[in-house]
Amino acid sequence: MRLPRRPKEQDLEDEIQAHLAIETRQRIERGEAPEDAALAARREFGSVALVKEVTRSMGGFGLMDSLLQDLKYAGRTMRKTPGFTAIAIATLALGIGANTAIFSIVDTAMLRPLPFQDSDRLVRISMTRAGKILGGWSPMDIRDFAAAARSFDGMVSYDHWRKNVSLGQGSSQPEELVVGLVPGAYFDVLRIRPILGRVFTPEENQYGKHFVAAISEGLWRTRFASDPDVIGRALRINGESYQIVGVMPEMVPAWMDHTAIPIGIWTPFTSPRMWTEAARGGAGNSSIGRLRPGVSIEQARSEIAGIAARQATEHPALQGLGGTIEPLADTRAGPIRPILFMLCGAASLVLLIACANLAGLLMARNSARYREIAMRAALGASRPRLIRQLLIETVALSLAGGLAGLGVAAGTGAVLVRSNAQGTAPYISGSKSLPQFWATVPDGRILLFAFAISILTAVCFGLGPAFGGTQVSLASTLREGGRSGSVGASRQAFRRAMVVAEIALSLVLVIAAALLVQTMIKLQRQDPGFHRDHLFTAHIFVPPARYTDPADIARFCDRLGRRVRAIPGVIDASVTGVYPTAMRWSEMFTFDGHAASRLADIPQARFGPVDDRFVRTIGLSLVSGRDFDESDQAASPPVALVNQEFVHRYFPNENPVGRQFRMGPPPGIGVPADDWQRGSWQRGSGAVRVVGVLANFMNERPPIPPSPQILLLYRQQPDVNFGFKDVVVRTSVQPETIASAVSRELHALDPEIPLGEISTMERHLADQTADSRFTTVLLGLFAVLGMILTIIGVYGVVSYLVAQRTHELGVRVALGASAADVLWLVLRHGITIGLLGVGLGLAGALAAREILAGMLYDVSASDPWTLGCGSIILLVVVLIATAIPARRAMRVDPVLALRSE
């Protein structure tokens, strides 16, 4: 009895074995020796594999059965041509690897849903001026918005601040952590429920009752040993005691607060003057909301715009300001969205080049297998069956390539992430936000993407060659005999077209990479307006809980500065509130002749409270007037330094030295709602006199031109003399080497203040161009990949051409053609292909210049020099790839070439 599920495959094998046994037996009976008989039977039968193969294609075999067979066959073919297989897999690995790597960034930065429940309903609510987003709204405004809006299911305003935190009881060394300042509703809006304890009550959001804290699960596990009794314990923030009331799951991603690591501690968002009219506006903090189910983004956006417009008429301070919303998920990539789009485009180009290469290779191989395919067709295999066989081979290749590509992606990811290691800073600068999205370990989504792209590649680029390869005409092929490879001029044309496309796409990549490299160089060579080398930087926080009077902070900083200046190897040192570049602190100011009644009109400038050594230590140059000096004491009249841009913007055509202005907005409007706990510009009159003008220096991120700048002495400005300070040291030795000495001096003054964010100005400046550098490196990598693939493609086509025309070349040489003639004959092909490709590529580059223009600095996207050099490089590459087979052609021996016929 046959087993019901006995595989057909086994049946076929048995049937053939029976045939061979019968034949052998008959031969033995006729008197042949048993061994000879078995051999003869086999020989007479022919290829068992081929017979099985064709018989199987008659149908009646299960799909799995035949698929398995096809795969086995594909594996055999791959092993039989290891050279082809290796090149094909490598080509695919590079193409798929590049795309998988980019996809992993794009997925985490743009596509993946946020980790919150119904995260598509979360939006960021922003304040705008003239259509430009300024930031979030103040709690005061958000409260009014929430009362008026119908589309929302909750809305909150929140912030975060660096603070000195002691997690243990009492004596432990405090550390500087970013603390989230949030109302309890923040967690409700995000739908985060505490693991232990509770969220803040509305009452705890009132100033004075706010000494409660929530910690993250991560902090709870690592620092509190997952202690279930952690609720009710105390921790110290800036010297004040807070009671832990809740443990929250680690769900808020770091990008939401631009921090280097996710926030681990939250306290209520409150300040003494938060709920006063003067606190309207905001912009320094963030605001988010959750849409009601069924409300579209557009509906909610127009509602918010309407409410903001009404608010602006009711509160004069808000005139000129508008409101808008955008999906929270869209804000995560923020400024790097265009970079990501460009990288996606570049990676697709690499894949296209790889695929064009593969299609060419497959076409060539299928041509070489022409006789085999024709034979199978003759034995009765149908065309769809043959196409399927060829496609399955391509899919197998593609999957192998995809697997290798995953390795390539993970490898490059790891290398690039390491080369862009996060610094010591707690916040991520807008110019270094790419690496945080790079997943080094591929997860399910990335695996799925690599799989899908492999299959898609195989089908799109295997189908053409498979159709071409199976267009067999029995009679002609079998009759063609020896020159079975020389088929169809159309196939050769197809391969040439593929190579032309490869050259064109490579040229686009090369030009883009060259433009970005030039941008990079120009950005890095940009004169910052000060001496960038030999500058040490570090951050401290002088806790106002212990240094209650701003004068105490000033005295502490003064003493620290003096001690640091005494360290050997130190030329000068400054303890300052800010340092260039990318100085984020802006302040409003008023001066005669510029009366402003609404927030939008008040002049603003970059602001920095510094000491009298700042200008000298950094190395800024003074254009007119004088620098701060030691005679400018706390009690003497407040003085200011401004930059040329400030003069140009606000005091054109007059000598600014001696002019007065007043810090802060006009009375009654625009006081930021923060927890500084000291109102801005309240204690002093805020009036300052300009004593000197500085040359412009880089106070913005490198590509952005310098903004107006105001520098004041913090010892004269108690209102803005906060605890956070930077220590900037000009050294004669390597700046990193003095870190421990500075730390010792700080410890001697106050053992409870840690020295944080130890770095150098060079590194700080490098960080400012990190994303551009990252992009440039990637694009350069892609361009090199594209070129390598193109070389392989060109080489393949030309070698094939030479191999095919060996006979013809032999005849030519026999008839008296010189080596130079033969060389030219081959080179001509390369040059034609090269010129066509370069022409198309230039057109492509010009078409893509709009996309690139936004990423370039001080170089035109259609820079003729770059376009020219790129073209020449590609032509040279094509010529080199042609020259190798051309040399072979030159050495064709006419006798051998003709005899081989």
Partner 1 sequence: MPKREPYRNRIEILQGTLDMLILRTLQWGPQHGHGIGQALRSLSDDALRIEHGSLYPALHRLENQGWLASDWRPSEANRRAKYYRLTTSGKRQLAREHSKWHEMVRTISRVMRPAEG
Q: Which residues bind partner 1 (CB under 8 A)?
A: 2, 11-12, 14-19, 21-25, 45-47, 50-51, 54-55, 57-60, 379-380, 481-482
Q: What is the dihedral of CA 735, 175, 255, 108, to 10 degrees?
A: 90
Bridge partners of 289, per DSSP, are: 123, 155
324's enclosing H/E stretch is strand 321-327
Residue 81 C-beta: closest distance to partner 1, Å: 20
Full DSSP string of 781-837: HHHHHHHHHHHHHHHHHHHHHHHHTHHHHHHHHHTT--HHHHHHHHHHHHHHHHHHH
Judged by CB, which is closer to partner 1: 27, or 563? 27
Nearer to partner 1, 73 or 585 (CB): 73
Q: Which is nearer to partner 1, 379 or 551 (CB)?
A: 379
Question: Any residues with CB less than 8 A from the CB of 699 and at least 6 apart, and which?
Answer: 580, 581, 582, 583, 606, 643, 706, 707, 709
Q: How far is the CB of 809 from partner 1 (least distance, A)?
A: 20
Comparison of 258 and 807: residue with beta carbon closer to partner 1 = 807
**Of 45 and 824, CB closest to partner 1:** 45
> Smallest gap, in angstroms, from Cβ of residue 382 to partner 1?
11
Residue placing its CB nearer to partner 1 in the complex, 60 or 568: 60
In the complex with partner 1, the residue whose CB is nearer, 68 or 600, is: 68
Paired with 161 in beta bridges are: 179
If the CB atoms of residues 42 and 659 are measured against partner 1, the closer one turns out to be 42
Type of residue numbered 740: S
Closest listed residue to residue 185, CA positions, set 268, 291, 295, 293 = 268
Residue corresponding to tokens 């913090």: 714
Residue placing its CB nearer to partner 1 in the complex, 21 or 551: 21
Please answer whether residues 778 and 343 qualify as being in contact, where contact means their C-beta atoms are separated by less than 8 angstroms.
Answer: yes
Residue 697 backbone phi and psi in degrees, to 5: -135, 170
Q: How far is the CB of 466 from partner 1 (least distance, A)?
A: 22
Find the shortest distance in angstroms from Cβ 866 to partner 1.
53
- The closest of 91, 89, 64 to 79, measured between CA atoms, is 89
**CB-based contacts of 42: which residues, under 8 Å, 6+ apart?**
20, 48
Shortest distance (Å) from residue 13 CB to partner 1: 11
Which residue number, 50 or 803, has a Cβ lying nearer to partner 1?
Answer: 50
The full DSSP string for 8-54 is HHHHHHHHHHHHHHHHHHHHHHTT--HHHHHHHHHHHH--HHHHHHH
When the beta carbons of 15 and 549 are compared against partner 1, the nearer one is: 15
Distance, CA of 693 to CA of 711 (rounded, Å):
10
Residue 108 carries which DSSP code?
Answer: I
* Minimal distance, residue 39 CB to partner 1, in Å: 16
Query: Shortest gap between Cβ of 100 and partner 1 (angstroms)?
Result: 43
Q: Please, where are the H alpha helices in 46-138?
A: 48-56, 63-80, 82-106
Q: How far apart are the first and last CA of the chain?
A: 58
Closer residue to partner 1 in complex, CB, 60/232: 60
DSSP conformation letters of 692-705:
EEEPP---S-TTSP
SS3 category, 238: coil
Cβ proximity to partner 1, 208 vs 482, nearer residue: 482
Q: Are strands 286-291 and 122-129 parallel, antiparallel or unpaired?
A: antiparallel
* Shortest distance in whole angstroms from residue 19 CB to partner 1: 5
Specify whether the CB–CB gap between 146 and 158 falls below 8 A: no
Pick between residue 253 and residue 485 the one whose CB is nearest to partner 1: 485
SS3 406: helix
In angstroms, give the least distance from the CB of 484 to partner 1.
9
Cβ–Cβ under 8 Å, residues 179 and 161 = yes
Tokens of 255: 């990008």
How would you class 879 by CB atoms within 10 Å of its CB: exposed for 0-12, middle for 13-18, buried for 19 or more? middle
